[in-house]
Amino acid sequence: MAANGVIFRIRRGGGADDPGERFQAYAITPRPRMTVLDALTAIQNGQDATLGFRYSCRVGMCGTCALQVNGRPRWACRTRLDGLGENVTLEPLANFPVLRDLAVDMDPFFNKMNRARGWAEPSGEAAQAPARISPLGRERGRIDPHIECITCGICYSACTMVGHDPAFLGPAALNRAYTLVCDSREAGGAERLAEVAGEHGVWRCHSQFNCTEACPKGISPATAIQALKRRAAAGGAREFVSALLGGRAPGGERASGGKSAGDS
């Protein structure tokens, strides 16, 4: 860490009330173990009360402090100044609309969680009472590595495909969908799989693993997306065979005189 001082170049503006985007420089004298979030609060308290950024827990629990540090999406509260050098550039997360300075609008991100049906829809007995899932079962083993997401948006910011296709569901929503598609208590599996296999779903992912590399929780959304692709492909193959056996063109109307799988 630079003992004498660190220069922060911070992206300012970008919101409706201050559309002119620009960089503004601030110098601070770092303290031992100081984090980027500590530096931001020091600048806001001591130099510029108008600086806009967001945080809540300060301990890596809520994900609200996510921003770009020297071009990489990271949590401000868990990023120490040690090793960042004497010049640090802070920008808002990529792929999000900017509200003000370093604070972004999370609505598009959470709207995609909704599109991927990222909520539990229990069926059968699970809807009546808590269902028991063996901690050692294969189902639990598939879901566990993907369940600790705190919806910080870092993987979404790191994803180049979100930049190419703003309607792409993105790594976090697809990771969440995977945990639910794998869950035997779920009632919404077919609809969820249809959504994630749609035009702006899993097939948009080019498996670059930027999301996996960036996730501070050690989750691999890219692995979840690959597993969803396999499930979607298997579902498509089943539909294809069933359509052939039923005398229908796959995905189309039944040919005249043919029988569908459900016909008696």
Of 81, 80, 107, 85, the C-alpha closest to 95 is 107
- Please tell me the distance from the alpha carbon of residue 204 to that of residue 117, in angstroms, as a whole number: 18
> DSSP state, 259?
-
- Cα 113 versus chain centre, distance: 9
Is residue 78 at the binding interface for ligand SF4, with CB under 6 A as the rule? no
Contacts of 161 (CB under 8 A, 6+ apart): 168, 170, 204, 205, 206, 208
CA triple 174-162-224, angle to 5 deg: 25
Min dist. Cβ of residue 154 to ligand FES (A): 10
Is residue 57 at the binding interface for ligand FES, with CB under 6 A as the rule? yes
> DSSP state, 110?
H
- Please tell me the distance from the alpha carbon of residue 231 to that of residue 180, in angstroms, as a whole number: 13
Min dist. Cβ of residue 65 to ligand FES (A): 3
Is residue 210 at the binding interface for ligand SF4, with CB under 6 A as the rule? no
Min dist. Cβ of residue 244 to ligand FES (A): 51
* Of the candidate residues 43, 51, 77, 158, the single one contacting ligand FES (CB under 6 A): 77
* Of the candidate residues 149, 162, 205, 228, the single one contacting ligand SF4 (CB under 6 A): 149
Is residue 148 at the binding interface for ligand FES, with CB under 6 A as the rule? no
What is the residue-wise DSSP string for 124-155? GGGGTSPPP--TTSHHHHHHGGG-------HH
Residue 54 or 248 with smaller CB distance to ligand FES:
54
Segment near ligand FES (CB under 6 A); pick from 62-70, 120-128, 171-179, 183-191:
62-70
Question: Is 162 within 8 Å of 95 (Cβ atoms)?
Answer: yes
* Of the candidate residues 78, 140, 217, 231, the single one contacting ligand SF4 (CB under 6 A): 217
Min dist. Cβ of residue 73 to ligand SF4 (A): 8
* Of the candidate residues 53, 55, 96, 168, the single one contacting ligand FES (CB under 6 A): 55
Residues 2-61 that bind ligand SF4 (CB under 6 A): none
Is residue 58 at the binding interface for ligand FES, with CB under 6 A as the rule? yes
Residue 52 or 171 with smaller CB distance to ligand SF4:
171
- Please tell me the distance from the alpha carbon of residue 44 to that of residue 26, in angstroms, as a whole number: 10
Is residue 53 at the binding interface for ligand FES, with CB under 6 A as the rule? no
Contacts of 222 (CB under 8 A, 6+ apart): 171, 205, 207, 208, 209, 211, 212
Is residue 151 at the binding interface for ligand SF4, with CB under 6 A as the rule? yes
Question: What does the binding site for ligand SF4 look like in residue numbers (CB under 6 A)?
Answer: 63, 149-155, 171-172, 175, 215, 217, 219, 221
Question: What does the binding site for ligand FES look like in residue numbers (CB under 6 A)?
Answer: 55-58, 60-65, 75, 77
